[in-house]
Structure 1
């Protein structure tokens, strides 16, 4: 798979991700939702931290939430640089198409969420109790590097009280699937899933495989 095709895949995912987020920001107030199906909702939430809203400051208590936010964003940027290097080297080494697609998906998803974290605080005003404005004249809701990631896809497939016989959680109200995510998260999860479940095929070198086939023939 060529660098041109991998770049095209990344750009397409980025466009879809950012269009969906901008639409949500400019049409929904925070925590507003619409039911598409009984098991699928568009629910606008904002994530200030990592997955499921976890923050670095939850683990490193001596730093403030704002410092933790900047550290997380910088870490994401460094991770993207590393993933981009991995993708470039994989293409040069003519690694399998599956590996290149997987890494491209992860890179696209990471870039999508970084755009939110770096720029959305400047690009939009607050969504609390109102629909946000893009490039407001009075300025955004926060400084650069302090933006919140926009999530909107919610799949509450089942909700109810768990049976008492279930350890630890018996008798409690439970929703499956509770997390709210976005297109970028889907791309990252898909890429990681490919690497985990199709590990042997993904990390197969196409040139080596062809040489092995020629030897066998």
Structure 2
């Protein structure tokens, strides 16, 4: 099992990071080249592609703080990489979770550095417009929450057995 995890970590974890990062960057570039800022395709409907430049953080919070958000983003990337390399050992779910978060953080920080804002374009109902990187971060966080919950339950069971 350790051999499988080792091979998985060496090959698939970097591949996950690279593939989702490229998917994010390519999709944003397509939006930048084909949609004017503020325009949507289709014009109406529940699901649309809407070109938005986000100068803030998630859900456009903390507007016009690009330098601050860039510094926080770089710090987050360093912290996530630390967890991936030194903490997330032996759990495929945890490694994938952190890899998705890392690819999303890279995708959005590259936008901030290159464009001074993040390109968002996935427009679903009343939800704020987001991008692939945001999705990677959200899915990664959901997987992390699942992992922590399962481990908490297992620890709780083990503690109950020890207390009997």
Contact kept, 8 Å, 2:84 with 2:99, in 1: the verdict is: yes
Q: 1:98: how far off?
A: 0.3
Counterparts of 1:50-89 in structure 2, within 5 Å, are 50-55=57-62, 65=64, 68-89=65-86
Aligned partners of 2:66 and 2:45: how far apart in 1? 35
Cα gap change, 1:202 to 1:110, in 2 (>3 Å): farther
Aligned to 2:94: 99
Q: Deviation digits for residues 21-50 of structure 1, max 9, x if unmatched?
A: 000001111011012983210011010010
Aligned partners of 2:147 and 2:19: how far apart in 1? 24
Q: Is 1:13 matched with 2:10?
A: no
RMSD: 2.1
Find 2:128's aligned residue among 176, 179, 184: 179
Aligned to 1:112: 107
Find 2:118's aligned residue among 138, 149, 159: 149
Contact kept, 8 Å, 2:101 with 2:138, in 1: the verdict is: yes
Aligned to 1:48: 55
Instruction: Name the larger-Rg structure.
Output: 1
TM-score, normalised by the number of residues in structure 2:
0.81
SS at match of 1:179: coil
Aligned partners of 1:181 and 1:29: how far apart in 2? 16
Q: 1:4: how far off?
A: 2.7
Q: Is 1:24 matched with 2:24?
A: no
TM-score, normalised by the number of residues in structure 1:
0.62
Greater CA deviation, 69-78 or 13-22? 69-78
Aligned to 1:137: none
Count residues with an aligned counterpart. 146
